Amino acid sequence: MMKKRMIVMIAAVSFAVAPAFAQHAHEGAGGSHGPAMSNGAVDHNNANGSTKGTSSSPTNVLSKNSKLDSKLTSKLQSKGLLPAGTDLKDACAGFKNLGQCVAAIHVSHNLDVPFACMRANMTGTAPAAGTTCATGTGSSKLSLGKSIHTLAPAADSKTASKTATTEADADIKAAQTAS
């Protein structure tokens, strides 16, 4: 009877901790997220596909891949998300990566929030001169969701963030495919 209980306890503990071990990263299989965990999302950190010795800032990515820059700029302009004559490299300066910038552009359009305010919140810089923003802009870098919550408190920041990120992924992927 004692042996039977011990076997049952060992089995129960094994099943209880197995999911925790399954969630640890496997470094050899695609960095900290294995290929199976990518969900097919675009790598915002390096939209030009190169990972060695390059900076992943949006300005660097767009400077090194002018086709991506022009395709993404025209895609965003055709949707009315980026005013004609706007340089995407300038608009995205200060963001951590290209996907973050494009998602902020989408949020700005989707929620009718000035992009200059989104940029100020997310990059920790002062808003452009003449731009009136809600409090909390420019002091520290906020996430996309926290920026949405600050600038559009009535909006569901989680849903708006997810929508904008999905739209950004699609735009970047389409521009990469076309370039």
Q: If you average pLDDT over residues 65-90, what whole number do you get?
A: 90
Whole-model pTM: value is: 0.68
Using CA atoms in the order 68, 69, 73, 74, what is the torsion angle rounded to 10 degrees?
-50
8 Å CB contact between 145 and 157: yes
Distance CA 60, CA 48 (A): 10
Confidence label for 176 from pLDDT (cuts 50, 70 and 90): confident
- Lowest pLDDT segment from 52-56, 72-76, 96-100, 161-165: 52-56
Residue range 99-152, pLDDT digits in tens: 999 999 999 999 999 899 999 999 998 887 888 887 665 568 999 999 999 999
CB atoms within 10 A of CB 3: 7
What the block records as the tokens of 61 is 């990515």
Residue 89: pLDDT above 70?
A: yes
8 Å CB contact between 138 and 125: yes
- Lowest pLDDT segment from 45-59, 71-85, 123-137, 160-174: 45-59
Residue range 20-70, pLDDT digits in tens: 444 334 433 333 333 333 334 444 444 443 333 446 899 999 999 999 999
The count of residues in the chain is 179
> What pLDDT, on the 0 to 100 scale, is given for residue 55?
60
Confidence label for 72 from pLDDT (cuts 50, 70 and 90): very high
> What pLDDT, on the 0 to 100 scale, is given for residue 153?
94
8 Å CB contact between 56 and 172: no
